Amino acid sequence: MRRLIFQEYVTLDGYAADPDGGLEFFETIAGDTDDDNLALLENVDTMLLGAATYRLFVQFWPTDASAEEAIAPKLNALHLVVVSTTLASAPWGDYEPGMVVRDVDAVRALKAEQDGKDIILWGSITLFHSLLQAGLVDEVQLRICPVLLGEGKSAFPNGVSPVNLELIEARPWAKGGVLVRYQPANRSR
């Protein structure tokens, strides 16, 4: 079975975006995460996104604007899968368009495919919550930015069943950020 890795940049107080949806706090660790992401992508062949994150990503990653980003070539070469009940298609600039699936069961089937590397879920907080509750997330990878926003969009679900996690790794970066990796308890890597 393929592994599903959720990766999110978060503030120290657990926000994935500011109150207006802004992500400017990512810049507090700019450059520190490139090597980690390049290494991660060596074992990933599929990018999973929710519809809202897809709409953000498609405006940047498959365009000339991403040319200076170290991960752009690898990211744009990934097989794209978008979970959405509203999108009919998922074009990706000049690259192969993404596949649109409708629900968690389609993600379960994708994970069950024998051929393939890991699957990366970037952003897509609502989708993450659904997949976590369904037991489909194999790793939660947080890139913690050294900033406190005080308010914003939380990266973590409220009012759902607790999910116990075990620490896999914790590593500081030069600019004060920290990479933390967890797996659901009682699951071997």
- Give residue-wise pLDDT tens across range 133-182: 999 999 999 999 999 999 999 998 777 788 899 999 999 998 899 999 99
Return the structure tokens found at 170.
Answer: 């914790």
- Identify the pLDDT of residue 28: 87
pLDDT mean across residues, the chain = 93
Closest residue by Cα to residue 183 from 159, 164, 162, 158: 164
Could you give the C-alpha distances from 12 to 32, 73, 103, in angstroms and in order? 16, 30, 31
168 and 118 in a common domain: no
49 and 113 in a common domain: yes
> For residue 108, is it within any domain?
yes
111 and 60 in a common domain: yes
- For residue 70, pLDDT over 60 is answered with yes
Are residues 62 and 76 in contact, defined by beta-carbon separation less than 8 angstroms? yes
Q: The domain containing residue 132 runs over which residues?
A: 41-136
d(CA 52, CA 167): 29
Mean pLDDT, to the nearest integer, of 65-94?
Answer: 96
149 and 74 in a common domain: no
What pTM does this model have?
0.93
117 and 147 in a common domain: no
164 and 99 in a common domain: no
The angle subtended at Cα 92 by Cα 47 and Cα 154, nearest 5°, is 50
70 and 127 in a common domain: yes
Count of structural domains, the chain: 2
pLDDT tens-digit map of 20-67? 988 899 888 887 788 889 999 999 999 999 999 999 999 999 999 999
* CATH of residue 114: 3.40.430.10
180 and 112 in a common domain: no
- For residue 188, pLDDT over 70 is answered with no
- For residue 97, pLDDT over 60 is answered with yes
> For residue 183, is it within any domain?
yes
Mean pLDDT, to the nearest integer, of 60-84?
Answer: 95
78 and 46 in a common domain: yes
Rg (CA), the chain: 16
Residue with tokens 């939380």: 154
| 104-112 helix and 125-133 helix, angle to the nearest 10 degrees | 70
Query: Where in the chain does DSSP place strands (E)?
Result: 4-11, 15-17, 44-50, 79-83, 90-92, 95-101, 118-122, 139-145, 153-154, 165-172, 178-184
87 and 110 in a common domain: yes
- Identify the pLDDT of residue 103: 95
